[in-house]
Amino acid sequence: MFFAVLFLLTVWFAWNLWNVVQLFKGLCERFWTRPMWWLRLLSVTLFTGAAAWVFGVSAGGLDTREACELTHYQPYDSDYRAAHTDEPRRMFPLHNKCNASYDLVPSWVNPTVVACFVIAVLCIVVLGWLGVSRALAVKRKELRS
């Protein structure tokens, strides 16, 4: 099961590398009027958002005290952690604080996840709009003939 998931993630990563190249080529050739360009952008955005989220979730490692003290050279405040037990377990926004002033989750993670979500919603809206407009164009063409 693990290898199947790893294989699928690897295929998705390779697909997104190809999509990044195609997105830049499409910008030069005005392909943003085609649904496939928006589908590629959606795929790259979802992959980037998911990768940023996983990076943020795993930022503290398995032992937060060890990550704070040995890796980041920050004091581990167990009283603060006891008062804020729900913060590291939340899905969003991601936080895993050593103390009141130091967060193990990098500051760029949460804005990246939000930006990717907004771009993904925009892609879905544009794909829907392109689909409806093309369907209406086909319907109009049928009515004329």
Q: Give CA separation, 107 vs 7, 45, 58, in Å.
A: 30, 19, 14
Residue 88 has pLDDT above 90, yes or no: no
Mean confidence (pLDDT) of the chain: 91
Q: How distant, in Å, are the alpha carbons of 70, 114, 123 from that of 52? A: 24, 10, 19
Range of weakest confidence among 6-10, 22-26, 95-99: 22-26
Give the span between the Cα atoms of 7 and 18, in whole angstroms: 17
Residue 10 is predicted with a pLDDT of 92
Say if residues 105 and 59 touch (Cβ distance below 8 Å).
Answer: yes
Confidence class of residue 66 from pLDDT cuts 50, 70 and 90? very high
Provide the strand spans (E) within the chain: none
% of the chain surpassing 90 pLDDT: 61
- What is the pLDDT averaged over residues 50-66? 92
Q: What are phi and psi of 51, to 5 degrees?
A: -65, -40
Give residue-wise pLDDT tens across range 111-121.
999 999 999 99
Predicted local confidence at residue 137, as pLDDT: 84
Residue 62 has a pLDDT of: 87
Domain ranges of the chain: 14-29+36-57+108-145, 60-105
